[in-house]
Structure 1
C-alpha cells in the first residue's frame, strides 16, 4: 500500500481533545460499555472533538498473570474471556451509536474476542458512527502473550483521516518498536492516542523502570516529538476494590489506588495537560491547533527534511496470511477433495 500522503498542517483552527484516565468496570462487559458511553457523553459535553481511551479499557487491563501463578490466574482469565467484546456485536453497536450521538471521534481500547481467541484491539470511530480503523496490537508484551494473540498485518495501518486531522493509534510498548514506528510516521499522523495499562511510580517494589507510569508517559512523549504530532497518553486507574477483583493485592510493583499518568503532549514534546492524581479518575483536556505541527517540522521532519531514505529504509510485508495455503500443483487436488459428496446413501 503506497503511503504518499502529505497532510496540511496550516489550519489555525483550535479544537479540544480528551484523554481518558478512568477505572474500568473490571470483568464486566456490559458495565464497561456503559461506562465508555458515559465518558463519551461527558467529554462531548465539555467540547471535546477527539476522545482517547486506555488499553483494553473493556473489560480492563489484566495485570493478573504478571502478579500470580497460573492456578490463581486461570479463574480470572476465564471470566475475562467471557467479558471481552467482539468487533461485530451489540455492545460495539451501542458504542458506535454513542459516538455518533456525541458527535466526536473516539479511539476505543478493548479486549477483542474473535472465536475463542483474544486480542488487544483498538477501534477508531468517526462522528457518523462508522469504524474507520480496527487494529490489534502486533505483539503482546511479556505475560500478555499468555492471554492475547498477535495482531494481523492490517494492524500496521493505524492512521486514518478524521474531521480534525489524521488520527493514529498505538498500544503500550508499540511505542518502542523502531520499525513499527517508522511505518507509523510514514502515514503522517497529526494526533495519536497512546493507549496504556495502569502503571505505577518508578521503583515501586523494585520494579523495572520501564514498566513505570513515568517511563510509559515518556514513551508517548517521545513518539510525539519524533513524529511531530500531538500525543494522548491514556491509562487506567486501579482502586483497592479493583485490585482485589483482579487478584493484584499484595504484588510489590503496585500501589492502590493508583496507576494513572494520563498526559497530553504537543508535537514538540511539551506537556499540554496532565492528570492531577494517579489514583483519581479524570478526563484530561487540551485545546490544540494543527498549525503547531508546522512549527516543529520546519526544524525536523523525519519523513521529509530530516531523513536519509537513500541510506536507511524499512521494508514492509503488510499482507495478511491465510491459515491454509496450497502450492499450485496441489491446489486442484485439494479443491476436488473438499467438494461435498452428494447422495451418499444412493446405491446402498
Structure 2
C-alpha cells in the first residue's frame, strides 16, 4: 500500500550576513538547529543565501560593480567545500533536510560563478545540486548559465522533492520537467527584492505579488506543496549598498520585498505568509492531500496528450573540459644508463 508522508516544513525568511560566507554559514547552522528543535523535517533557505544576493547589479552601471563582484567571487563557495561540509554536518547532527541557495565557485576559474541550490539529506549527504538554468535580467552580469544535471526530483522520506530558483519558476518547461518526474513537494527560493524600475514609476516589479502568482500556478498545476523562501534586506546589505550613493539606497529600501509561504495543491497558503522582518515560518504538510486534485487535472497522467506533446531534457553536466583517461606516457628505465657513444676526434 502506498504511504503518503506527513511532516513539518520550515521556510527561512532570513537575511545573509552580506558577502560574508563564514558568518552566514554560522547563522544557517544555528537556524538549522532551531528548526529541528521545532519539529521541522526540512528547512529551506533563500536564493544565494551564502554569501548573499548581488543586488548591486540592479542599482548601478556594470562599470561600477567590479569591487563588489570581486568580493562576491571571494566569498562564493565550492561544492564540496568547507562551508558546504559545515552545512552537511549540521543537517546530519540535527537530523533535518536542508535546502540552501549558494553562489557557487569553481576551481576551474576565479571569475565563473553559478547561482545554485543544494538539497542536503538528514544524513548529511548532498542529494541534489542544481545550477540555475538561465540567470535572470541583471543576474547575467554575475552568474553563468547552469545545466539540467540538477533538474531532477529526489525521492526522500518526506516525499519526492524538486526545486527551482526564482525566475525558473516562471519557466513552464522547467516546471513540467519536475512534474513529469513525480514531484510532490516543490522548493522555490527567492532574493530579498527585485528592482526593475525606480520605485516611484509605474510598472515597478512587486516581488511578493509575482511570487504569489507563480508559486500558486505551480502548486495548482503540479498538485504539489510549494515551500517558498525569500531573503530579507538587512543592515549588512544596506551598508554595502551605501557606497553606491543615496539613490541606490533609496531604490533598495523602497522597492517591494519578497515573501515566504507554503502553498498547498489548491494554491492556497498553509498557515501564515511572512513578509518584512526575519523569522522562521512553519507549516504542516500532508502529501496525501495531493491525490484528490489529481482527479481533476493530472497533466503528467491522463490529462495530457503524449502523442502530440513531447519534452526532451538533456541532463548532461556542462564542464569546461572532458579528459579521457589513458595509460599515460611510458619512460622505461632499468637503473643503468647507456654510455654515450664515442665522438670523432675534434668534434664537440
Mapped to 2, the partners of 1:210 and 1:154 lie a distance apart of 31
Mapped to 2, the partners of 1:141 and 1:201 lie a distance apart of 12
Among 169, 186, 210, the residue aligned to 1:175: 169
Write out per-residue CA displacement over residues 229-271 of structure 1, whole angstroms, 9 at most, x where no aligned residue: 0001101110244223145753364326973411110011011
Mapped to 2, the partners of 1:253 and 1:207 lie a distance apart of 14
Where does structure 2 lack aligned partners over 5 or more consecutive residues?
Answer: 333-337, 341-347
Q: Which residue of 2 aligns with 1:166?
A: 160
Aligned residues: 328
Matches within 5 A, 1:1-348: 8=2, 11=4, 13-115=5-107, 116=110, 117-157=112-152, 159-199=153-193, 204-206=199-201, 208=203, 210=205, 212-247=207-242, 250-251=247-248, 253-255=251-253, 259-276=257-274, 278-321=275-318, 323=320
Mapped to 1, the partners of 2:201 and 2:291 lie a distance apart of 42
Further displaced range: 107-116 or 235-244: 235-244
Mapped to 2, the partners of 1:200 and 1:213 lie a distance apart of 10
2:133–2:147 Cα contact (<8 Å) kept: yes
Measured after TM superposition, the shift of residue 212 of structure 1 is: 2.2
Measured after TM superposition, the shift of residue 171 of structure 1 is: 0.2
Write out per-residue CA displacement over residues 101-150 of structure 1, whole angstroms, 9 at most, x where no aligned residue: 11111111111111222111111111111011111001111111111111
CA RMSD of aligned residues (A): 2.9
Please say which structure displays the higher CA radius of gyration: 2
2:91–2:98 Cα contact (<8 Å) kept: yes
Mapped to 2, the partners of 1:62 and 1:266 lie a distance apart of 31
Q: Compared with structure 1, are the counterparts of its residues 202 and 142 closer, same or farther at alpha carbon in structure 2 (3 Å cutoff)?
A: closer
